[in-house]
Amino acid sequence: MNNLQSLSLYWPELILTVTVLITIIADLFYSPKESGRTALWVLGGLFLAYIAIKVQDSTIVTTLFMGNLAFDPFASFFKTLILFATVLVIFISQRTSELDGHRTGEYYALMAIMVFGMFLMVSAIDLIMVYLAIEIVSISSFILAGYLRGDLRSNEAALKYVIYGAFSSGIMLFGLSIVFGLAGSTKFFAIQEAMWNLEGSANFAFTLATVFILAGFGYKISAVPFHFWTPDVYEGAPTSITAYLSVAPKAAGFALAIRFFNQVFGDGGSFIDPSLTTYTELPWPQLLAALAVVTMTLGNLVAMQQNNIKRMLAYSSIAHAGYMLMALPTLSSQGVYAVMIYLVMYMFMNLGAFFVVIYVKSQGGGESFDDFRGLGWKMPIVGIVMTIFMLSLTGIPPTAGFIGKFYLFAAIINAGPQMYWLAIIGAINSVISLYYYMRVVKVMFFEGKSSETVLVPSIPVLLIFMVLAIPSVVFGVYWTPIANWVSQSLIFFTQVI
């Protein structure tokens, strides 16, 4: 579609752009104390964007802006997911004590910019667009990570984030340029076609380029060995932003990786054959499998040794990226389906766990395991809700996390016995993860004594808890709506060559 026609399918992004502008301008008229009200503008904009996505004709599958962006149900799925996550994080941000004394107008505006960037990430089918989208998201998140200007750790987080971000995106850019040199185009489908005709001697260069590009994706989804920024950034950034970083950009990163690998290296997303189909002799499924194993194992082993719950959750989010990565080498629609289901479930449980950390801190507690001692007795509701999130993150039925893992394992097993080893390693990893998740439950309930006064959270806080905890349980028992939504969204734009 040409540029002018594309605009009619570009409403969500246009609305977001206007939202960002309005938010920045509106913030000028608020006093520092009232600055938080900009959240309402952003919420309104996100709501309109959601409506715009909903009213779009979901049968249209095309490209926008001369083949720069794909317009398909797959992208709409991730856009909706990102909107949900953003709205939840905005509500969570209202309840955090860390942002007290900061002007929050820019905070919300930056979040809206990130949403815009992630919308581009999930629909990009051009290498230049990929790079631009990643940068939009990254630069806004650098600022957000360092939002607590007076806090040394927050500053450190931002700086580390910038350095790692610049480094990995530089490497990725290098990889992209090699691909461009080999294929002569920046469009995914043209690259795919070029790879058909590639001579064997170019395989090495392509492998190298793939590894470099993986660095960029791996950085976004915090896969080992591109994860080094994660714990420090997660610990230093405002916890609400940590929660956001662990969910939304990760989802967008997965969307991008899925699109890239399936459409450049795979059979273009038609997924007719569930077996491994790859047009080249590149060992990239094996590469991804190895990455998945290293990512989850390291994430889990290091998470066990943490004494700060925020850091523990950071490493656990690395491990979860590893679980999701397991499904990509299957290169089947089942694998993509599983990752999408997992991301939905993961959003609820992970945001929930971070919100508990935020809430405990705002009640005068801290972030270490010691601060959670006896929490289950002092605040039984928070304790029970946290237990649900921890179980869900471990993947114990009947919780949403189990369903996510169940689909991941099913996709791997379905790929055939040659992949069973991956499932077994994944399964053993979830046993390892039980240890540190249950440690939280242990300090909350097994330690400390029954207290006379019981603290019940205020109504808005309770509501947020319910919005996060109820799906974490209900989707573990009945998840047909999610399964249907995902299976309807499993349509990619493909170009038959």
Partner 1 sequence: MDTSILSWIIWIPVIGMAAIALIPREKVKTIKMVTAVATGIQFLATLGLWSRFEESNGGFQFMERAEWIPSFNITYILGVDGLSLPMVILTGLLFFLGTFVSWNINRAQKGYFALYLLLNTGVMGVFLSLDFFLFYVFWEVMLLPMYFLIGMWGGPQREYAAIKFFLYTLFGSVLMLIAILALYFTCGRTFDMLQLMQTAPTALDGVMFWGMSAIKVIWVMLFIGFAIKVPVFPFHTWLPLAHVEAPTAISVILAGILLKLGVYGILRINYTMLPVAVWWFAGALALLGLINVIWGAMCALAQKDLKKLVAYSSVNHMGYLLIGMAAVIAAGEANGHNLLAAQAGLGGAVFQMFNHGTISAMLFILVGVIYERAHHRDIEGFGGLATSMPIYSGIVAVAFFAGLGLPGLSGFVSEAMCFIGAFPVFKAIVIASTLGILLNAAYFLWAFQRMFMGEMNEKYKELPEINKMELFTVIPLLVITVFFGIYPRPFLDLISSTMNVIIDTVANMGGIAGVF
Do 17 and 35 touch, CB atoms closer than 8 A? no
Give the one residue of 63, 242, 430, 489 binding partner 1; rule: CB under 8 A: 430
Region of residue 195 (left: phi > 0; alpha: psi -120 to 50; beta: else): alpha
Question: Is there binding between residue 475 and partner 1 (CB under 8 A)?
Answer: no
Sites for partner 1 among residues 123-182 (CB under 8 A): none
Cα 433 from Cα 188, distance rounded (Å): 37
Among the listed residues 113, 13, 115, 20, the one whose alpha carbon sits nearest the alpha carbon of residue 64: 13
Minimum CB separation of residue 464 from partner 1 in Å reads 21
Nearest approach, Cβ of 446 to partner 1 (angstroms)?
A: 5
Taking the C-alpha atoms of residue 355 and residue 92, their distance in angstroms, rounded to an integer, is 7
- How many CB atoms are closer than 10 A to CB 270? 13
Least distance (Å) between residue 412 CB and partner 1: 8
Using CB under 8 A as the binding rule, whether residue 202 contacts partner 1 is answered as no
Q: How far is the CB of 463 from partner 1 (least distance, A)?
A: 19
Contacts of 200 (CB under 8 A, 6+ apart): 281
**Contacting range for partner 1; rule: CB under 8 A; set: 179-187, 221-229, 249-257, 477-485:** 477-485
414 binds partner 1 (CB under 8 A): yes
Q: Which stretch binds partner 1 (CB under 8 A): 59-67, 174-182, 460-468, 479-487?
A: 479-487
Q: Is residue 485 at the binding interface for partner 1, with CB under 8 A as the rule?
A: no
Q: How far is the CB of 402 from partner 1 (least distance, A)?
A: 8
Identify which of residues 3 and 484 has a Cβ nearer to partner 1 in the complex. 484
> Which of 14, 166, 170, 435: binder of partner 1 (CB under 8 A)?
435
The C-alpha angle with vertex 407 and arms to 406 and 409, in degrees rounded to 5, equals: 65
Contacting partner 1 (CB under 8 A), which of 14, 208, 431, 463? Answer: 431
Which of residues 57 and 452 has its CB atom nearest to partner 1 in the complex? Answer: 452
Candidates 372, 409, 465, 492: give the one binding partner 1 (CB under 8 A).
409
Nearer to partner 1, 137 or 289 (CB): 289
User: Which residues have a Cβ under 8 Å from the Cβ of 211 and sit 6 or more positions away?
Assistant: 175, 287
SS3 at position 320: helix
Q: 191: burial class by Cβ within 10 Å (0-12, 13-18, 19+)?
A: buried
Ranges within 29-88 binding partner 1 (CB under 8 A):
none
Exactly one of 163, 208, 428, 456 binds partner 1 (CB under 8 A); that residue is 428
Question: In this chain, which stretch among 168-176, 301-309, 318-326, 391-399 interacts with partner 1, using CB under 8 A?
Answer: 391-399
299-329 per-residue burial string, b: 16 or more CB within 10 A, e: under 16: bbebbeebebbbbbbbbbbbbbbbbbbbbbb
DSSP conformation class of 69 = E
What's the min distance (Å) between Cβ of 277 and partner 1? 19
CB 127, CB 180: distance < 8 Å: yes
CA distance 219 to 227: 6
* Cβ proximity to partner 1, 368 vs 487, nearer residue: 487
91 binds partner 1 (CB under 8 A): no
> Contacting partner 1 (CB under 8 A), which of 8, 101, 307, 478?
478
Element (H, E) at 317: helix 309-327
Q: Which of residues 446-465 bind partner 1 (CB under 8 A)?
A: 446, 450
Q: How far is 251 from 486, CA to CA, in rounded Å?
A: 14
304 binds partner 1 (CB under 8 A): no
Identify the residue among 417, 452, 458, 496 touching partner 1 (CB under 8 A). Answer: 417
d(CA 432, CA 323): 13
Which of 154, 40, 59 is closest to 102 using CA atoms? Answer: 154
Q: How far apart are CA 487 and CA 251, in angstroms?
A: 17
- In the complex with partner 1, the residue whose CB is nearer, 346 or 402, is 402
Write out the residues near partner 1 by the rule CB under 8 A.
391, 396-398, 402, 406, 409-410, 413-414, 417, 420, 423-424, 427-428, 430-431, 434-435, 438, 442, 445-446, 450, 478-480, 483-484, 487
